[in-house]
Amino acid sequence: MEALATVESEVRELIRRSGLDPLRDAGALDRLVREVVADYDGRSLHGSLPRLPALDDAVKSVKDAVAGFGPLQPYFDDPEVEEIWINEPTKVFVARGGVAELTTTMLTDDGVRDLVEQMLKSSGRRVDLSSPFVDAVLPDGSRLHVVIPDITRAHWSVNVRKFVASASHLDDLVGLGTLTAPAARFLEAAVAAGLNILVAGGTQAGKTTLLNCLAAAIPPRERVVTCEEVFELKLPLRDVAAMQCRQPSLEGTGEIPLRRLVKEALRMRPSRIVVGEVRQGESLDLLIALNSGLPGMCTIHANSAREAITKMCTLPLLAGENVGSRFVVPTVAGSIDLVIHAALEHDGVRRVREVVAVPGRVEGDVVETADIFTQRDGVLRRADGFPPHHERFRRAGYDVAALLAVGVTT
């Protein structure tokens, strides 16, 4: 509307003159917007200016445009919306409960660019022809991914995965139906005992949330170092050092890849290392760290626990020509203790489908596994396997047999 556009323009000019930071001083911004709206409303009563809608609606609309994300802000404010994506300006989608829906929001190419610029402002990251992809974290913890032409066909592709703080501990996942109580108790003990855990699943399976909840069970006296592409983990622990990767500069220098972070983490006196996700050669550095006695956890894209192990045996080969499977396969068997596979089900609920132990044995280049919990009839049930390192459980004050005495399936 013309009236709202005029008020927004006046507010932006006053912000520019006063040096106000609308993101950091919400109270001052609110007062400024209300004053400008009231002034405009008074002028519109005595002149030819177009009238504003309801004043409170006008205030919110202007604040969303100046300090928020304009037409997308209602989706950020809606707690049921998990993800927002733009395929083209007239096709804006959201996901609620794991189900996608096309919204009525209509944007322009310039509007999409302005929104992306606003989103990237606090991250210090950029997107341009020399760097057509960008990953960033918004102030509320949501993750932003943008791709621009000519990588995309004609329009900017924008995806925002909202940070929905629905779970921060394993008990929360039990309440959401992701885990059963026996599985949660076992996993909490496994984390406290210092087992190395691999969280597997597809896109939107809840891997990061699950990893965050597992990390919450780390004993409070331990020092944890996290390594991520962009900051997503929010560990409720006292001693956490968090690191994220860095994009190259305009000159192509200064890039800090994930592999470098994993190496640097070992110099920071960690009691435990947590890697957001392994995709390439950094998997080798993580395996070497875990094999040296440093407990850790990470996530990986895979469709099952078995596929996750196979992938962990393959990814380190990308680290260099001198890395062979004769070294990697037994290292995976000796380094990974548990694999948890989660999935987004058809009903929109994220559920753990299996918890698999890795006893440490290799048979013909195949890493042996033992099922601890598997999904039967849609329910995660106790299988007949046991985890390795019973002595670590005892040192942490847990009896593995008692933990898993919940009825073995036949």
Q: What is the pLDDT of residues 93-130, one digit of tens each?
A: 999 877 899 999 999 999 999 999 989 987 878 898 88
Q: Does residue 139 share a domain with residue 257?
A: no
**pLDDT of amino acid 391:** 96
**pLDDT of amino acid 90:** 96
Q: Does residue 383 share a domain with residue 240?
A: yes
Q: Does residue 215 share a domain with residue 124?
A: no
- DSSP code for 191: H
Q: Which run of H or of E encompasses 393?
A: helix 390-395
**pLDDT of amino acid 165:** 62
Q: Does residue 110 share a domain with residue 13?
A: no
User: Residue ranges of the alpha helices (H) in 131-257?
Assistant: 170-176, 181-192, 207-215
Residue 218 CB neighbour total at 10 angstroms: 23
Strands (E), 49-196: 81-88, 91-96, 99-102, 133-137, 143-147, 157-161
Domain boundary residue, one of 12, 38, 67: 67
Tell me the percentage of the chain whose pLDDT exceeds 70. Answer: 98
**pLDDT of amino acid 177:** 92
**pLDDT of amino acid 399:** 95
What tokens were used for 404?
A: 């898993």
- DSSP code for 50: P
Helix (H, G, I), strand (E, B) or coil at 330: helix
Helix (H, G, I), strand (E, B) or coil at 296: strand
Domain boundary residue, one of 135, 163, 191: 163
Low-confidence ranges of the chain (pLDDT < 50): 409-410
The reply to whether 263 falls in a domain is: yes
Q: How far is it, in rounded angstroms, from Cα 136 to Cα 228?
A: 11
Q: Does residue 258 share a domain with residue 132?
A: no
**pLDDT of amino acid 7:** 81
Q: Does residue 374 share a domain with residue 302?
A: yes
Domain that holds residue 50: 1-67
User: Cis peptide leading into 128, omega within 30 of 0?
Assistant: no
**pLDDT of amino acid 289:** 93
The reply to whether 270 falls in a domain is: yes
pLDDT single digits (tens) 139-172: 888 999 999 999 999 999 999 998 776 789 999 9
Q: How far is it, in rounded angstroms, from Cα 40 to Cα 10?
A: 10
The reply to whether 410 falls in a domain is: no
CATH number at residue 139: 3.30.450.90
